[in-house]
A and B are shown apart, each in its own frame.
Chain A
Amino acid sequence: MAGKPLLLVEDNPDDEALTLRAFKKNNISNEVIVARDGAEALDYLFGSGKHAGRDTSILPQVILLDLKLPKLDGIEVLRRIRADKRTQTVPVVILTSSKEEQDLMNGYKLGCNSYVRKPVNFDEFLEAARQLGLYWLLLNEAPPA
C-alpha cells in the first residue's frame, strides 16, 4: 500500500496540520506532499518550478485539493490536472468548506472523484479522513501510471 505519496494542496497551515493529524490518527502512513498553492501543486505534478527535475512518473495516489487557494484556485488546478494526459487519471478529492462549493464544482463538470467537506467539528473531519483513507488508499486501485 505504501509508496505512492498523497498530494495535499492546502494553503491554511492549521488545516494542513489538522489534516496530517487526521491521517496519522487513521494510520495512513503514505508520504504526504503538501503544496501551499495551486501553482506549487502543478509544479509538483509536472516537475516544474520548485519541483523542477522531479521524477514526474511518480504520481500521487490521490490528490486532496482545497478549492480556495492563492495564485491558482482549486478549480483551475483541477482543470489543468484533467487536461494533461499524465495526470488525467489521478483521483482528485476536493476539500470543500460548504455545500455551495460542491454545487459550484458540479457546474464545471471537471470530473473530480470525490468531495470531502471540511467540517468545523474535527471529529467529523476525522471520520471523513478515515473513510477517505479506506476508500482511496485501500479499496480503490489506482489506475496504472
Chain B
Amino acid sequence: MPKSLAARTALILLPLAVVTVAVLYVFYRSQLEAFETVVRADEKNAVEIGEHRLTAQISAILSDLRFLTHLQLLQHWLDTDDPAALDGVARNHLAFAQEKLVFDQVRFIDAAGREIVRADYRDGKTRILAPDELQDKSDRPYVRETLRLERGQVHISPFELNVERGAIERPLRPTIRFATPVFDRSGRRRGAIILNYNGEDLLDRIRPLESEHARQIWLVNEEGYWLHGPNPDDLWAFMYPDRQDRTLACAHPDVWRVVQDGISNAQFFADGDLYTVALFRPGVRVSTETSGPGVASSPLWILVSRMPAAALAARTAPLQRGLALIGGVLLVVFAAGSFLLARHGVNRAAAERTVRASAEKFRSLLESAPDAVVIADAQGRIALVNAQSERLFGRPRDKMLGQPVEMLVPERFRGRHVGHRTGYAKAPQPRPMGAGLELFGLRADGTEFPVAISLSPVETEEGRLFVANIRDVTEQRESRRRVEELSERLERDNAALQSVNSELEAFSYSVSHDLRAPLRAIDGFSQALAEDCADRLDEAGQKYLRRTRQAAQRMGVLIDDLLKLARITRAELAVEDVDLSALADDVAREIAEGAPGRRAAFSIAPSLSARGDPRLLRVVIENLLGNAWKFSGRDGNGAGRIEFGRTDANGTSAYYVRDDGVGFDMAYAGKLFGAFQRLHDAREYPGTGIGLATAQRVIRKHGGAIWAESEVGKGATFYFTL
C-alpha cells in the first residue's frame, strides 16, 4: 500500500518535532531552574543585604548611643551639677544631631523622667530647647523601661510613627527610640540618654533593593504590621484603630505561617510569587559581638522580599520567546526537510514500483508469449528463458541458464551456429533467423523439430542481450505440406474437369452438328421424296413420309433444347440488377404476338427487380410464362389469366407465375423439374419437357429454389426465389 506524500511527511516530521519540542522543553526547564536558582540567590542576597544594612545601621546607632553615654561633660555635670557642664552637654548634643542628621531628638532625662537636655533636629535645623520647653516623660513606656535597665543595657523601642501631643505627627514620622541608662561615678542611676532615630533613614537603606526587577521589599514587625511595603494604606496600620486587621496574617497567610514557624531564613513560592524571608532582632547580634550586657529588648523584624509571578514571568518571557522562535524555525526547517525527504521517498517508491511493475510486466509478457523466448548474452550464454522454452526443448530452466545456446541446436548445425551468432552480434538488427532455411531445434531427448526463429538485440544495463523468439513449426510445415498436396490434387482434378468440360464441349458441338445432319437428311430427303415421287406414293405413303419428317423435326427440337440445357449448366453467371417486371412484360408480349387471337390476359406486377444473370433469368421467365400460356385459356379452362408477381411464401419473398389453366396432380409434382418429364399429352400440349428442368438449373445456379403448387383443373402456381 503506497503511502501518500502527506503521510510520509508526517511520519518523518512527527518524531523530529517531538524530539525538538522535548529537547527545547528540557532546555527550557533547565534554563528555568537555573533562572530560579539565580533568582533565589538574588533574592536571598537582597534580603541578606537588607538585613545587614538594617543591623549595621542599628549597630552604628548603638555605638553612637554609647558614645553619648560616656561623654565626659555629662559625667562631669553628674558629679558636679555644674550648669556650664550641662550647657556643654547640650551643645554636644546639638553638634551630634547636626552631624548625624538622622536623630530628631537627642535627649538626656533624669531619673525621674524629666527632660534635662534636649537637642531637636527638624527640617535641616537644630536647636536646643529652652528649659520651659522641656517636658516630663516619666509616663512613657520607653522611659520607664530604660530607667530599669542595668549599666550598658539598651532599650530599642518598637518602630512606630512619632506621636506629638497625643497625635500622629504629620507628615508621618517613623521613629525608633534608642535609650540607655546613665550612671554616675558612684554607680547611682541618674537618668538616660534617648535618641529619637528618624526611621526614614533606616527605610532608605532598604529601598534601593526594590528597584531591581520589580522586587518588593517588605519590613514587617513582630505583630505582622507593615513598616515598609508597596501599599501605603497597609503601613503602620497598628497605629490606627481602624486598620488593625491589615496584617500580614490576613493578607498573606502563607507567608505568615512561615513566619510563625520561626524559621529565620526561608524562601518559598506562594501563588507563584517568590518570597524570601528573614527574621531578626536588629540589635541582638550587635550586642553579642560587643562585651558586656547588650540590648535588653529589641523588636523582632521580618524582612521579606517578594518577587511577583508576573515579574518572574516577564523575566523568563524572552527565554520563552527565544525558544519558541527557535522551535518554530526548527519545525519549519524540519517540515520542509521532511517534505523533501518524503517526496524523494514517494518518488523513489514510485520509481521502484514502476521498475518492479515493468520487470513484472516484462516477466509476464515473457511468460505469456506464445513462443518460446530464449535470451542470450553476447557470449551466447542463455540468460533467460520462459516456460514455453522449457516445454519446447523439454529441459528445465536451471538446466539451460548459463549454458551456450548451441545446446538447443542439433549437433550438425552447432559449428555453423557459433559463426552465425558471432556475425549477428557484430551487426545486430531484428530479423528472422536463417531466412529461407529450414531450422531445427533439439529437445533434451535428442529429437529434432522444425522451428522458426526471429532475432532481436536488446540493450540492457547488463549489456547487449539477444532475444530469440522460437516457434515450433512442425504443424505449420505439416499443414503447408497438406495444403500443397491438396492444391496439387485440386490442380489435377481441375485439369481433369477441364478436359471433361472440353470433351463435353466437343460432345455438344458434335451433337449439334453431327446428330442434326442426319436428321436434316431424313427430313430433307423425305420432303424430296414426297415432292419428286408424289405420283408413285399413295395416300398412306405420303402420310408415312410426313410422320417421318415430323419425327425428325421433333428430334431436332429435342437436341436444341438439350443443348440449351447443357449450355445453361456450363454458363457463368453475369450478375447485375435485373428488372424482372420489364423482362416479363417483354416475354409476355412476344408470347402474345406469337399467337394472335388467343384470349389470355397477362397481369404483371410492376417494379419487381432482382440481382441475377438477365439472359438466364429471361430463360426462366420464358419457360414459366410459356407454360402458363400453354396450359391455360383452352377448352374453357379458365379465362386464360396469367399473373406474375411477388408474394410471401414459406416465410421468404418469392416470385410466382400463376395461371388458371389445367393444373396438374400434385402427386407428380416431384417429376415436374426432371429433364424430358412430361405430365401432359404431347399431342395436346407440345413441348420437349426440358423447360422446367432448364428453369430449375437457372434458379439453382442463382442459389434460389423453385417449386409449384397446383390442383387438377384449378390452375398452377410456380414459385421461385433468387
> Residues of A at under 8 Å CB distance from B?
12, 14-15, 17-18, 21, 67-68, 97-98, 100-101, 118-123, 125
Q: Which of B508, B509, B513, B524 has the most CB of A within 10 A?
A: B524
Name the interface residues of B502-534: CB closer than 8 Å to any CB of A. 508-509, 512-514, 516-521, 523-528
Q: B523, B527, B557, B560: which contacts A98 (Cβ < 8 A)?
A: B560
Please state if B555 and A120 are interface contacts (CB–CB under 8 Å). Answer: yes
Known contacts A14-B525, A98-B560, A125-B524: does B519 contact A120 (CB below 8 Å)?
A: yes
- The reply to whether B528 and A21 contact each other, CB–CB distance below 8 Å, is yes
Judging by beta carbons under 8 Å apart, are B524 and A21 in contact?
yes
| Interface of chain B: mostly helix, strand, loop or mixed | helix
Which single member of A14, A101, A118, A123 contacts B527 (CB below 8 Å)? A123
Contacts of A12 in B (CB 8 A): 517, 521
Q: Is B563 an interface residue (CB 8 A)?
A: yes
5 additional contacts (CB under 8 A) given A21-B528, A120-B552: A98-B512, A118-B516, A120-B519, A121-B549, A122-B524
Indicate if the CB atoms of B517 and A97 lie closer than 8 Å.
yes
14 of the cross-chain contacts (CB-CB < 8 Å) are A12-B521, A14-B517, A15-B520, A18-B520, A68-B513, A98-B563, A100-B512, A100-B567, A119-B556, A120-B516, A120-B520, A120-B556, A121-B549, A121-B556
**What separation, in Å, do the CA atoms of A12 and B518 have in the docked complex?**
9
B514: chain A residues at CB < 8 Å are 68
Binary per-residue interface labels of chain B (386-412) against chain A in the complex, 1 for a CB within 8 Å, 0 otherwise: 000000000000000000000000000
B residues near A, CB below 8 A?
Answer: 508-509, 512-514, 516-521, 523-528, 549, 552-553, 555-557, 560, 563, 567
* Interface pair A121/B517, CB less than 8 Å apart: no
Select the residue from B512, B516, B520, B526 with max chain A CB neighbours within 10 A.
B520
Query: In the complex, what distance in Å separates the CA atom of A122 from the CA atom of B524?
Result: 5
A131 and B717 CA atoms in complex are apart in Å by 43
A18 nearest CB neighbor, chain B only: B524
Bound CA–CA A44/B85 (angstroms): 214
Which residues in A have their C-beta under 8 angstroms from that of B528?
18, 21
Taking CB as reference atom, which chain A residue is nearest B566?
Answer: A100
CA distance A118 to B517 in the complex (A): 9
Contacts of A68 in B (CB 8 A): 509, 513-514
Question: Please, which residue of chain A has its CB at the minimum distance from the CB of B552?
Answer: A120
Q: Are B512 and A18 in touch, CB under 8 angstroms?
A: no
Task: Report yes or no: B527 in contact with A122, Cβ–Cβ below 8 A.
Answer: yes
Alpha-carbon distance A67/B563, docked complex (angstroms): 18
Contact between chains at B524 and A97 (CB < 8 Å): no
User: A3 vs B676: C-alpha distance in the bound complex, in angstroms?
Assistant: 50
Contact yes or no, B553 A121, CB < 8 A:
yes
* Cα separation A67 to B519 with both chains bound (whole Å): 18
Contact B521 A18 (CB under 8 A): yes
| Distance in angstroms between the alpha carbons of A100 and B567 in the assembled complex | 9
Query: Please, how many angstroms separate the alpha-carbon atoms of A120 and B118 in the complex?
Result: 198
A15 and B512 contact, CB distance less than 8 A = no
B517 touches A122 (CB 8 A): no
Which one of B508, B509, B520 contacts A122 once the chains associate, using CB atoms below 8 Å? B520
- In whole angstroms, what is the CA distance A132 to B447 when docked? 84
Q: How far is the CA of A123 from the CA of B526 in the complex (A)?
A: 11
In Å, the complex CA distance between A12 and B517 comes to 8
Q: Are A118 and B520 in contact (CB under 8 A)?
A: yes
Q: Which residues of B contact A125 (CB under 8 A)?
A: 520, 524
Are the CB atoms of A121 and B523 closer together than 8 Å? yes
Chain A: minimal CB distance from B567 (Å)? 6
* A123 CA / B524 CA spacing, docked (Å): 8
Q: Which residues of A contact B553 (CB under 8 A)?
A: 120-121
Question: Do B508 and A100 touch (CB < 8 A)?
Answer: yes
CA distance A24 to B452 in the complex (A): 83
The interface residues of chain B lying within 8 Å CB-to-CB of A118 are 516-517, 520
The chain A residue with its CB closest to the CB of B515 is A97
- Contact (Cβ within 8 A) B520 A119: yes
How far does the alpha carbon of A68 sit from the alpha carbon of B509 in the complex, in Å? 9
CA A123 to CA B516, docked complex, whole Å: 15
